[in-house]
Amino acid sequence: MTQAIHRPDWVPASGHQLRMSGVHFDALRVQGIRGEEVAARLGRLTGDDAGPVVWQGTGPRWMYFLLPPRTAGDRAWPLDVERYGTGFQVGFVGVPALNGHTWPLMWQSRPTPTAPFVDADRLYEALGAGRAAT
């Protein structure tokens, strides 16, 4: 299912910009193939309406899952998940524009009106940390 695109105010109009975690969103970062597998599983669990997931195409190819602010600490995430947000590692996350040249950042899944953020419960499931992931 294709969802309407939603452009939150923290998404730049062009290029990409750094945004401080814990302010506009919290972020969970997963490396490489594992991050790509989790993103694909999350897409299946949500009917391709996963919310904002940013893929970094350089280095170890990080996948950033953007959750509502102050929610990354609500549970014990798997050890291979890095948390960025209030009360944890604070950092800057690159956010690409919805269109145009944004390399090395790209949207794996864009924010939509029905999923302006990644749902933490679904992400937890996609990580295989809760019930069996599909």
- Confidence at residue 88, expressed as pLDDT on a 0 to 100 scale: 65
Mean pLDDT for the stretch of residues 44-50: 97
pLDDT tens digits, residue range 67-101?
Answer: 999 888 878 899 999 999 867 677 899 999 999 99
pTM, whole model, 2 decimals?
A: 0.91
d(CA 85, CA 99): 26
Both structure tokens of 3: 């969802």
